[in-house]
């Protein structure tokens, strides 16, 4: 393992600038991937700030890197947002099919499947007026529901 160096010390060696960028990127990506798996938003308290200070040491590809950093992790408060909800297409289709007698329904579904298979599942566009009517119908089925969303987590930091 090489001598312990800060990213700034590695950058001072102008012949190694490209290598420094590569190692620094690998360094931060490694930490980011670990953080993605290990950090759990639900473990943080809404509205709380977590000041931090530390020294990170990582050996990458035989080079040892050390990075001092300090900062503050801030957790936002939960909020409520409105979300538009449209019924699932199979449910809407099932409701429409309920109004058709079982025998006619089976004939209709079979005819659509046969037409699809014979045309390679390519259909001519339906009349624009019918598409507009269907669009208006689906818009009437759309509802709004309120959802609680977690506050964002932000980090302000400086590297030393």
Q: What is the pTM of this model?
A: 0.54
Q: Tell me: do 65 and 106 sit in the same domain.
A: no
| Burial class of residue 115 in the structure, from the number of CB atoms within 10 Å of its CB (0-12 exposed, 13-18 middle, 19+ buried) | exposed
The answer to whether residues 71 and 15 belong to one domain is yes
Overall number of domains in the chain: 2
pLDDT computed for residue 5 by the predictor? 65
Residue 147 lies in a domain: no
- Residue by residue, pLDDT tens for the chain (160 residues) are 556 666 666 666 655 667 777 888 888 898 899 999 999 999 999 999 999 999 988 788 887 878 899 999 999 999 999 988 888 889 999 999 999 999 999 999 898 888 887 777 776 678 899 999 999 998 898 899 999 999 999 999 998 8
**Domain encompassing residue 97:** 87-141
Q: Are residues 14 and 39 in the same domain?
A: yes
Based on the domain organization, do 67 and 91 belong to the same domain?
no
Instruction: Determine which helix (DSSP H) or strand (DSSP E) holds 72, and give its type and residue range.
Output: strand 63-75
């Amino acid at each position: 393992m090489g001598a312990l160096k800060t990213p700034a010390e590695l950058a001072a060696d102008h012949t190694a600038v490209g290598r420094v960028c590569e190692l620094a990127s690998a360094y931060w990506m490694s930490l980011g991937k670990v953080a993605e798996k290990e950090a759990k938003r639900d473990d943080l308290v809404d509205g709380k700030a977590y000041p931090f200070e530390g020294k990170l040491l990582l050996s990458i590809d035989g080079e040892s890197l050390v990075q001092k950093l300090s900062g503050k992790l801030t957790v936002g408060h939960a909020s409520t947002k409105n979300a538009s909800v449209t019924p699932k297409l199979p449910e809407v289709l099932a409701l429409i099919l309920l109004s058709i007698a079982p025998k006619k329904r089976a004939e209709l579904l079979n005819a659509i499947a046969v037409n699809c298979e014979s045309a390679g599942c390519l259909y001519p566009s339906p009349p624009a007026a019918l598409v507009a009517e269907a669009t208006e119908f689906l818009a009437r089925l759309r509802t709004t529901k309120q959802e609680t969303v977690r506050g964002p987590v932000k980090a302000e930091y400086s590297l030393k």
